[in-house]
Amino acid sequence: MSDVAAFTPAPAAPRRARRLMIQGTSSDVGKSLLVAGLCRAFANRGLIVRPFKAQNMSNNAAVTVDADVPEQGSAPAAGISAEPVRGEIGRAQALQARACRAPRSVHMNPVLLKPESDVDCQVVLRGRVLGRASAAAYQTLKPALLPAVLDSLERLSQEADLVLIEGAGSGAEAYLRAQDISNMGLAEAADLPVLLVGDESRGGVSAAVLGHRLLWTESERARVGGVLVNKFRGDPAVFAPAAATISAATGWPVLGLVRWFDGAARLPQEDSLALDLAARAVAKPPRPGEAKPLTIAVLRTPRIANADDLDPLAAEPGVRVVWVQPGEPVPRAADVVVIAGSKATRADLDFVRAQGWQHDLHAHVRQGGRVVGLCAGFQMLGRVVRDPQGIEGAPGESAGLGLLELETTIGGDKRLLDLDAVDRVSGERVTGYEMHMGRTQGAALAQPWLRLVDADGESGEDADLSARIAPLGSHERAEGAVSADGRVMGSYVHGLFAADGFRRHWLAQMRGEAVEHGAGQGERTTPASAYEARVDAALDAFAAQLAEDLDLDTLWALAR
């Protein structure tokens, strides 16, 4: 594990921002979405708002570009890095930044934990990989991370009018209270006022709130300015006795009931819990007269990462996304099978084999179906995945699925890059990002999926990229691979399905429809299929609902 103690602190300057922390009574009470909605609501009032989450655990991440990230492990005199630094933050903070209409920054999520197994994770500090740590080892590491966490919070506080700070999980989880940097430990260290959020949809919200008061110290209780009851359905008058009980027992006022927001399904989901809830949802059969939907089956691997790549497909009319759970075969009704990203490629590849899914995939292709691999899923499609340095687990290699003539070696620096690309079949433009470690080589790269131009304006002389792609021409670079029959394809680019024109043409291709190169780029995109517009519309709708459900002036007054 790299040295984390030496950081250049933020330049001394008066703090302009008010700050307010939102803690929850448990995981999945809706903290992330609530912060995103409040970010948009206050931004709509003309305020400069920034989100912050000290520590997030997620394998879904987004690329950042910062100009003021202190060099890791350097002496304070080294100062700030001369060039903009690419990093990564959790997808929830990326959505919150979007809600603020602000560029993503590593300071919004200074500590990102990316699980690699049930007992250890990759630790990312201010966008850069520190190394792997077991759960026990990470607990001892947290005090050394706190100065960087506080420094990042201070940097955001100097550029904003309001910083909305999201806690992690339960604010009073007893076994995580020691050396806490996510909830009350952070609130005490940074002198933050706190809102406590409970989830009414699960039942027991009163007991959950009272339990937190019992577990917190007197100093911590004094930080709580009120309670929000989230995901409420029904008549608010019915909840009035419970609100009175909560206030009488805790001394904290119930500041509002936030109604259940149906539009949450239109927003990117961050973690595996949300995926599992989505997987349990029963897909509705087509109505009489409706066309048969295109069925896309996604393998539910244990360390799945950046599964929000599939959100634009799930939101598309006429498309049915189903999750293939462990112990289930790949459904015969599937038109396309997707293998998404992974934080532990070889472990998930071995899991795919243990489930027998590799046999299903080969049969699926033989019978005319299609298979798509994204990032780690792309690596799995090849002949072998090697990890000689043990970056994602024990050193060694695993046999791939053998659907593309490729070999991958995991190693080198993590590649973090925003990209522009063009689909070589339709000519449609794609904007996405790369986030992976490893180099892929092989004959399949001679038939690439995309023609690549970096969004950052790079000319294409990147040595790492050129080592893993097949050249197309003097002004082109290739990305990904497509099998000779067009039924197997893979790419390192995340976010490509969010591009409306590309997604429409790709879905037509998956349905077996003819796709003309460069024809009608985006002209047939309807409001129902304009993914990015749908996300922003959902954020605006939730912000408007929060302005009705809550007194935003009261929350502003509570912040300090």
Task: Report the catalytic residues.
Answer: 375, 494
Element (H, E) at 347: helix 345-354
The tokens describing 114, both together, are: 């990316």
Rounded-to-5 percentages of helix, strand, coil across the chain = 35, 25, 40
Q: Which residue's structure tokens are 């609130």?
A: 187
Name the H helices within 199-298.
205-215, 218-221, 236-250, 272-280
| Short-list 165, 163, 271, 251, CA closest to 210 | 251
Parallel, antiparallel, or unpaired for β 194-199 and 294-299? unpaired
Cβ 149 vs Cβ 181: under 8 Å:
yes
Angle at Cα 118 formed by Cα 112 and Cα 124, nearest 5°? 15
Each as own residue / partner, the long-range contacts of residues 502-505 (CB below 8 Å, 24 or more positions apart, any chain) are 502/423, 502/426, 502/428, 502/429, 502/430, 503/312, 503/313, 503/316, 503/529, 503/531, 504/529, 505/423, 505/425, 505/426, 505/428
Q: How far is CA 17 from the centre of its chain?
A: 26
Q: Indicate the pairing of strand 488-491 with strand 481-482.
A: antiparallel
Q: Which residue has the tokens 């299609």?
A: 370
